[in-house]
Amino acid sequence: MPEEERSFPDTIVQENYVTFQHEFIEFLVAQLIDFRKVFNGDLDELLIFIFVSRYYLREERGRLQEQEQDVLWAVPPTLSRISELTGIPRETVRRKLLALQKRGLLEKVEPDKWQVAVRNDQPIIRADYEQFWQREMRRLVKLVRALAPYI
C-alpha cells in the first residue's frame, strides 16, 4: 500500500483500532467519573454545560474566522438551540440552565443566550474545581502522547 494511503486517518485508525479504542475509552471513562462527581450524576446538566462551554473555548482559542464561517456556532446558544442539538426537551434544558446559573457555572446574556460564567478571566468551573481540572489536563496529555506515534 502506498505511504500516502497508509497515512490517511481512517487507515491509521483501522490498523490500530484496539490501541485507539483502548486509549479513548480509558480517557472517556475517567472523564465521565470525574464529571459525574462535579455534576452530581446529572448527565443532562453535564451535557448542557459542555455544550455551552464550547462557545467559550472557541473564543478563548481565538478561532474567530471559523466562527464567522459557521454562524450557528458564532454566538452563545439559546435554550431552543441547546434543546434542538442535544435532544433534551426544552423544559428540561430550561430547568438545567437555571440550576447551572444558580451554581454560578453559567450566566444568561442578552435575552435567552447562555455562556460560561467567568471570574478573573477564567471560567468559574476551573477555579472551583481545580483538582478536577488538573486531572483532566494530565489525562489529555496522556491521551495525546499515547496516540501521537500514529498521527
- Identify residue 69 by its one-letter amino acid code: Q
Q: For the chain, what are the domain ranges?
A: 3-143
pLDDT (tens digit per residue) in 45-86 = 999 999 999 888 877 766 545 545 555 556 789 999 999 999
Which is more confidently placed, 88 or 59? 88
* Contact by Cβ (8 Å): 118, 80: no
pLDDT (tens digit per residue) in 98-115 = 999 999 999 999 888 999
| Per-residue three-class SS string for the chain | CCHHHHCCHHHHHHHCHHHHHHHHHHHHHHHHHHHHHHCCCCHHHHHHHHHHHHHHHHHHHCCHHHHHHCHHHCCCCCHHHHHHHHCCCHHHHHHHHHHHHHCCCEEEECCCEEEECEECCEEHHHHHCHHHHHHHHHHHHHHHHHHHHHC
Q: Answer yes or no: pTM beyond 0.75.
A: yes
* Contact by Cβ (8 Å): 19, 45: no
The CATH code that applies to domain 3-143 is: 1.10.10.10
CA-nearest of 12, 32, 26 to 148 is 12
